[in-house]
Structure 1
Amino acid sequence: MNIDDAAVAFSDGNLVVLSVVLGLIMLGIALDTAPSDFAVVRRAPKAMVLALGAQLLLLPAVTLGLTLALDLQASIALGLILVACCPPGNVSQVLTYRAGGNVALSVSFTAVANAVYVFTMPLSIAFWGGLHPTARDILAEVSLDPAKMFTEIALVIGVPFAVGLTVRARWPRVAARLQKPVRWFSLVALVGLIVAALAGNYQIFVTYISMVLLAVFCHEVVALGTGYLTGRLGGLGPREVKAMTFETGIRNAGLGLGLVFTFFDGIGGMAVVAGWWGIWDILAGLALATVWARRTRSRTSEVVA
């Protein structure tokens, strides 16, 4: 059973729709981003350095170690590395709010990180994927072109992000009206597309999901744990640690899925990993946020009593 030889079908039309939805996600993030959110680099440089370090360096490095420890097939390993190199997802802010974390800091983290990832993501995938003993063969076969991937990422997330920032700066009332509808519509549409992609390739999904479930579960734990430990060891407060946890643990796996079909011909392990990650990280994040929210309410009740 070699998932590396399987290919997930995804039509050109669906790929265009996926790109539009991903663009709307970035537009929604930008519409909720004020210029002052980027000032966190100056106001709270320690937190921002920790956040970027956890996402750009620690998470891919730990992910590489996890793929080696689990002895995963090449395409599954590269799928996890690809997700680890993706920018944070906008759901992180919702989860931070639900958990009682620092939402303002989460918004700033997401804004700065997405701007940085436009430039770093292609290089990160090539670098970390190239370190894996078998995944590097896939990169060699597809002749990954970082410049071409940069162009794709810039069009999908960079341009919509810039448009959203412009609208927010010039027409804040319009941005305020559009932000929530755009964000929630794009999120629901993304989940729908991922479910449709998995359902349309039902046989491949059923055949290989058992191989992917454990890997994605462990990777999600590692991602959330990396953010949490970075915040705690970095001396951040409890609310800031929650923001750091979700900012690191929630990745834009939808973008990863789009890149899998655009640059890797929908290779089985990568596609199933990115697709399942896009659903599972929301479920896992909601579970953790709910636990934190209940603990916060419990402690508040004890203090009041």
Structure 2
Amino acid sequence: MGSSNFAVVLPVALVVVMLGLGLTLTPQDFHRVVRHPKAVSIALVCQLVVLPALCLLLVVLFGLTGVLAVGMMLLVASPGGTSANLFSHLAGGDVALNIVLTAINSVLAAFTMPIVITLSVAAFMDDDAGVGLQPAKLIQVIVIVLVPVAIGMWIKHRYPGFAERMAKPVKIASMAVLVMAVTVAVGSEFDTLRANFGRLGLITVLLSVLSLSIGYFVPRWFGVGVRQAVASSMEIGIHNATLAIAVAVSALGSEAMAVPAATYGIVMGGPAAISAFLLARRAKSAPDQADSRARRAELLG
């Protein structure tokens, strides 16, 4: 199936993206995230509890059943897409927080995805059979996220001048590779998307918009800084559609179940780009509370 081609292209895209982001990070970024765990906790609750409940409500309201309903739940149960790190970077978010959340979500997905899939299959397909996430896929996601970032951070530490010169070219290359990956997704899933896009387009757009909004406003309501809230919005609002496609096709053996994720992979770019543009203006105009506290601590220390 064409989606398998997408699954081959995406890891290459993500390696380039994560390497570029690693060139912008230092260990101090992660130390600051650890010192302020509230943003991580709130984002994880939104990702693991609020979004599945929201998606279930949308599935019921839109009357989806069978494999399409399970496919939607599989999509929302997948960890945040690693492209969220790039959008967060463009929007002025706390990219270190994105990296931490992506890594944590990837580990938790080993437990949460099988639970969501099992309950969804039982609810929408009258089947009590449980399905587990293949460990190799989880390891692949973690490696794709962490290894290139670590290499990029090492390059920045060892060759800071080179890292600074390469930051912009790598960012451009990252965007080009992501566009190529989306193009592959459209081409490989064209017939399936054409047959189902009208039915699934609206629900996936709503899921994208609501996820991005929840990811930003809920942390802000709890006093999280702007840059961290931007990172949370992108992490929660951009789901790993390709991982959902790969699990549906290879682990669950259902191409139809991959259609919602494929549809989402096409439509989510618009809401994500608009959100990144709007949030970038807010992040630039509003000081980040966590950064302010860190600077005050440094001055006092």
Task: Flag the 1:33–1:44 CA change in 2: closer, same or farther, 3 A.
Answer: same
Partner of 2:211: 223
The percent identity for this pair of structures is 28
Contact kept? 1:54, 1:227, Cα under 8 Å: yes
Letter in 2 for 1:90: N
Q: 2: distance between equivalents of 1:274 and 1:239?
A: 28
Distance 2:245 2:280 in 1: 31
Tell me the CA shift for residue 219 of structure 1: 0.8
Asked if 1:128 is matched to 2:116, the reply is: yes
The 10-residue stretch of structure 1 (122-131 or 158-167) with the greater mean CA deviation from structure 2: 158-167
The 5 A counterparts of 1:111-122 are 111-122=99-110
1:93 aligns with 2:88: yes
Aligned twin of 2:260: 273
Match of 1:4 in 2: none
How far residue 64 of structure 1 moved from its aligned partner, in angstroms, is 3.2
The equivalent residue for 1:284 is 271
Asked if structure 1 preserves the Cα contact closer than 8 Å seen for 2:90 and 2:280, the reply is no
Gap change, CA 1:55 and 1:296, over 3 Å in 2: closer
8 Å Cα contact 2:71/2:260 also seen in 1: yes
Distance 1:203 1:59, change over 3 A: same
Q: 1:263 to 1:296 in 2, by over 3 A?
A: closer
Q: Pairwise mapping of residues 242-257 of structure 1 onto structure 2 (< 5 A)?
A: 242-257=230-245
Residues 22 and 156 in structure 1, CA contact (< 8 A), matched pair in contact too: yes
Q: What is the CA RMSD across the aligned residues, in angstroms?
A: 3.3
- Aligned partners of 2:248 and 2:254 also within 8 Å: yes
Note the residue ranges of structure 2 that are not aligned, 5 or more in a row: 287-301
SS at match of 1:251: coil
Compute the displacement of 1:35 (Å). Answer: 0.9
Residues 18, 266 of structure 1: alpha-carbon distance in 2 compared, 3 angstrom cutoff: farther
Moved more, 188-197 or 29-38: 188-197
Separation (CA, whole Å) in 1 of partners of 2:10 and 2:60: 31
Asked if 1:213 is matched to 2:206, the reply is no
In structure 1, distance between residues paired with 2:34 and 2:285: 35
Residue 72 of structure 1 aligns to a residue whose secondary structure is coil
The Cα shift of 1:116 comes to 1.3
Q: Is the 8 A contact 1:123 1:146 kept in 2?
A: no
Gaps of at least 5 residues in structure 1 are: 1-7, 98-102, 300-305
Equivalent pairs counted in the alignment come to: 281
Corresponding residue for 2:11? 19
The letter of the residue matching 1:52 is: L
Q: Is the CA contact 1:109–1:247 (under 8 Å) kept in the aligned structure 2? A: no
Q: Normalising to structure 2: TM-score of the pair? A: 0.76
CA contact (8 A) 1:31 1:165 kept: yes
The answer (yes or no) to whether the contact 1:118–1:153 under 8 Å persists in 2 is yes
Amino acid aligned to 1:83 = L
Deviation at 1:275, TM superposition (A): 2.9
